[in-house]
Amino acid sequence: MCTIDLIAASDGYFIAKEKIAQSIALLGRRWPPVVAPECCSVGKWLCRGIVARFTWIASPQWYPPLVSTCRARVDFREEFEVSAASILEFILTLDGLKAVERRTRPSGIARPENSAEHSWHGAICALLLKDYCTFPVDAQHAALLMVVHDIPEIVCGDTFIYDPARDAAHLSEEVALGHLLAKLPSQNATQLRGLWEEFTAGQTPEARYANALDRIMPVLHNLANDGHTWQEYSIKLEQVLARNQCVAEVFPSLWAIIRPRIEAAFPGVHNE
């Protein structure tokens, strides 16, 4: 009987467990006398990883190589530290979103809204408005989509919703996102990229819901500020109605309240 304590430091608890499991499988192939662990318990986090205790059934001559190989295979401290450093650096990079100015102004504030505020506001709206959506939706997942969807603007800036270039903005944003995520651990980068791609494609229920939220907030800001942005950029009523058609489809009961207010912001203009 041989008891071995393994310490695996990695990006997270389950990643470390997976790496330990891979090491066990390798040992089983390398030393046939070794039987699968009689017991395996994964303990609490240590300062640099998790500790797992394994009890092996093997002949005594296998103990030294087993111990040395286990220690060599699951010592991921350096990888863990590099991953942590890259995540911390990315967290500070996200501060750049606070410097990206949008065209609309927050309600009661005489300055442009920034994209970080917009993303946060959208996430809260995702949690609050799910009961007004015409189809079932995972509000928590939609909130994640809202938090992530404008990250590329750190590089690209915000493209005005009524700008003709808006429909192609996702092409430059995709490149920008790749640069921003390049130094993140692969599983973190994959998660964030997946959320951004889902929002941009707009096909899942949560993405449709989030895209409608993305449109409804600037409308509410304009209505709260007497159509300030619409007037400043000479936006016409038909443009507002066309660009916000998704709001009417996803939130018909809310649209019934909002549309008359939009029309009232364009006095003298009649739209069927």
Question: What domains are there in the chain, each with its CATH number?
Answer: 2-75 (3.30.70), 92-264 (1.10.3210.10)
* Torsion (CA) 160, 146, 122, 165 in degrees, nearest 10: 10
Rounded-to-integer distance, Cα 134 and Cα 127, Å: 15
Rounded-to-integer distance, Cα 147 and Cα 195, Å: 9
Per-residue pLDDT tens listing for the chain (272 residues): 444 444 444 444 455 555 556 665 655 555 444 444 433 444 433 333 444 444 444 444 444 444 444 444 444 455 556 688 899 999 999 999 999 999 999 999 999 999 999 999 999 999 999 999 999 999 999 999 999 999 999 999 999 999 988 888 989 999 999 999 998 999 999 999 999 999 999 999 999 999 999 999 999 999 999 999 999 999 999 999 999 999 999 999 999 999 999 999 998 665 54
Q: Specify whether the CB–CB gap between 123 and 141 falls below 8 A.
A: no
Predicted local distance difference test score (pLDDT) of residue 144: 98
Rounded-to-integer distance, Cα 71 and Cα 5, Å: 9
For 56-75, the three-class secondary structure string (H helix, E strand, C coil) is: ECCCHHHHHHHHHHHHHHCC
Predicted local distance difference test score (pLDDT) of residue 8: 47
Q: Which contiguous run of DSSP H or E holds residue 237? A: helix 237-243
Predicted TM-score of the model (pTM): 0.71
Predicted local distance difference test score (pLDDT) of residue 165: 87
Query: What letter does residue 101 receive in the DSSP assignment?
Result: B
Classify strands 50-56 and 2-8 as parallel, antiparallel or unpaired.
Answer: antiparallel
Predicted local distance difference test score (pLDDT) of residue 218: 96
Predicted local distance difference test score (pLDDT) of residue 60: 45
Predicted local distance difference test score (pLDDT) of residue 21: 61
